Amino acid sequence: MGSRTQDLIFTLYGDYIHPRGGEAPTAGLIKLMDCLGVSEQAVRSTLSRMARRGWFTVRHDGRFSFYSLTPRGRKLMIEGEQHIFHPRQEPWDGCWRILTYSIPESKRHLRDRLRRRLIWLGFGMLNTATWISPRDLRPEVEDLLESLRIRSYVEIFTGRRESLGDDRELVARCWNLKGLNRAYADFIRRYTPFPSHLRFQRADGSECTEGAAFARRFRVVHDYRSLPYVDPNLPPELLPDDWLGEQAAQLLHEYHDLLAGPANEFVDRALDRQLLMREENHRYVAVAT
Task: Give pLDDT, residue 182.
Answer: 97
Is residue 165 a part of any domain in this protein? no
Is residue 90 a part of any domain in this protein? no
* Same domain membership, residue 61 and residue 103: no
CA distances from 55 to 1, 47, 100, 124, 279 (A): 19, 9, 32, 29, 28
Whether the pLDDT of residue 42 is over 90: the answer is yes
Average confidence score pLDDT of the chain: 89
Whether the pLDDT of residue 261 is over 90: the answer is no
pLDDT band, very low/low/confident/very high, at 287 (cuts 50, 70, 90): very low
Is residue 91 a part of any domain in this protein? no
pLDDT band, very low/low/confident/very high, at 258 (cuts 50, 70, 90): confident
Any idea which of 117-131, 210-224, 267-281 has the lowest mean pLDDT? 267-281
Task: Give pLDDT, residue 164.
Answer: 78
Is residue 213 a part of any domain in this protein? yes
* Same domain membership, residue 184 and residue 274: yes
Q: Domain count of the chain?
A: 3
Task: Give pLDDT, residue 110.
Answer: 94
240, 168 Cβ separation under 8 angstroms: yes
pLDDT in tens, 230-252: 899 999 999 999 999 999 999 99
pTM: 0.84
* Same domain membership, residue 118 and residue 19: no
* Same domain membership, residue 193 and residue 278: yes
DSSP 8-state assignment for residue 161: -
Name the residue with higher pLDDT: 283 or 51. Answer: 51
Is residue 237 a part of any domain in this protein? yes
Over residues 212-222, the mean pLDDT reads 92
* Same domain membership, residue 283 and residue 179: yes
Task: Give pLDDT, residue 90.
Answer: 85
14, 81 Cβ separation under 8 angstroms: yes
pLDDT in tens, 128-175: 899 999 999 999 999 999 999 999 999 999 999 988 788 999 999 999
Indicate the pairing of strand 56-61 with strand 96-101: unpaired
Is residue 143 a part of any domain in this protein? yes
Q: Residue 241: helix, strand or coil by DSSP?
A: coil
**Of 131, 159, 187, which one is at a domain's C-terminal end?**
159
Which domain covers residue 229, as residue numbers? 175-288
Q: What is the dihedral angle through the alpha carbons of 181, 186, 190, 191, rounded to the nearest 10 degrees? A: 0
**Of 26, 56, 80, which one is at a domain's C-terminal end?**
80
* Same domain membership, residue 59 and residue 109: no
Task: Give pLDDT, residue 214.
Answer: 92
Instruction: Show contacts of 199-206: CB within 8 Å, 24+ apart.
Output: 200/35, 200/36, 200/37, 201/37, 202/34, 202/35, 202/37, 203/34, 203/37, 203/38, 203/39
Task: Give pLDDT, residue 208.
Answer: 55
* Same domain membership, residue 111 and residue 72: no
Task: Give pLDDT, residue 282.
Answer: 54
* Same domain membership, residue 24 and residue 122: no
Name the residue with higher pLDDT: 83 or 41. Answer: 41
Is residue 257 a part of any domain in this protein? yes
**Of 159, 190, 205, which one is at a domain's C-terminal end?**
159
Per-position b or e across 207-234, b if 16+ CB within 10 A of its CB: ebeebbbbbbbbbbbbbbbebbeebbeb
Task: Give pLDDT, residue 274.
Answer: 73
Task: Give pLDDT, residue 213.
Answer: 86
Nearest Cα residue to 23 out of 57, 75, 68:
68
* Same domain membership, residue 104 and residue 66: no
* Same domain membership, residue 60 and residue 21: yes
| Alpha helix segments (H runs only) across the chain | 2-12, 26-34, 40-52, 71-85, 108-121, 138-148, 167-174, 177-191, 212-230, 245-258, 260-271, 273-288
Name the residue with higher pLDDT: 10 or 260. Answer: 10
Whether the pLDDT of residue 285 is over 60: the answer is no
* Same domain membership, residue 212 and residue 133: no
CATH code (residue 108): 3.30.70.2360
pLDDT in tens, 175-213: 999 999 999 999 999 998 766 555 555 556 665 566 888
* Same domain membership, residue 212 and residue 184: yes
Whether the pLDDT of residue 126 is over 60: the answer is yes
CATH code (residue 37): 1.10.10.10
